[in-house]
Amino acid sequence: MEKIQNFIASVTGQEKVGFFDSATPSFYVAAAAIAFNPIFWNIVARQEYRTHFLTKIFRSPYYGCYALALTIFGLGIFRDSLYKAALDEQPLYPPLHQPALGVLLFVAGNVLVLSSMWALGVTGTYLGDYFGILMDSKVEGFPFNVTGAPMYWGSTLSFLGTALYKGRVAGVLLTLEVFVMYYLALQYEDPFTAEIYAKKDARPATRSQTKKDRKEL
């Protein structure tokens, strides 16, 4: 029955129906891009922290961070386009086709992502702490009072929302990969970030800060 439906779809230009097409190369290309991005930014950020190579190239930690931010943002756009292309080549699985729920998850995910970017700013969002650009205090308002990693889980919801909107099993599988990659990234990033801020808190007060503290006393 499925073969007949797909034959009719190929003649009429409609979407093909099925569960999952494992022979489509675009699925594996999208999977590779999803895995590459967090691995890339963690390696580059760690190297910057150890050697300050981006700071040296751009002669400023801020310019180095902005360059990395543009690179990560561009890679994210490219990854998303590969994800969409992969889903477009996959068959529609009717039980999974839930456009309304897909839109809801996509919007919720983007609210988490955009609000976290607004709260953190460019350097806070794009690994500024690895460049020595540290925040004065921990951000605890929305969306960080909902989840500790709104950028990651918001992005995951957006991937899942797109999969449900298009009704593609491949999208759910790729979303699962996104979740796993972000979960592993957090296990790698959170302790290191905590160590960076612990070192900041352990630094002795500067002379000007000491004078300020004495005046307040």
Residue 190 assigned to a binding site:
yes
Question: CA 167, CA 146: separation in Å to the nearest integer?
Answer: 28
Residue 203's pLDDT is what?
Answer: 66
What letter represents residue 8's amino acid? Answer: I
Residue 207's pLDDT is what?
Answer: 44
Question: How many helices, marked H, and strands, marked E, lie in the chain?
Answer: 8, 0
Mean pLDDT of 164-187: 97
Residue 172 assigned to a binding site:
no
Model confidence pLDDT, tens digit, residues 45-67: 999 999 999 999 999 999 999 99
Strand partners, 92: 17
Residue 163 C-alpha from the chain's centroid = 17
Instruction: Show Cβ contacts of residue 48 under 8 Å, excluding neighbours closer than 6 positions.
Output: 54, 55, 64, 68, 127, 130, 131
Residue 194 assigned to a binding site:
no
Mean pLDDT of 194-207: 71
Residue 199's pLDDT is what?
Answer: 81
Instruction: Show Cβ contacts of residue 8 under 8 Å, excluding neighbours closer than 6 positions.
Output: 14
Residue 108 assigned to a binding site:
yes
Residue 124 assigned to a binding site:
no
* DSSP tag of 204: P
Question: CA 5, CA 14: separation in Å to the nearest integer?
Answer: 10
Model confidence pLDDT, tens digit, residues 118-134: 999 999 999 999 999 99
Q: What is the DSSP string of 133-154?
A: ---SS---STTTTT-S-HHHHH
Residue 14's pLDDT is what?
Answer: 64
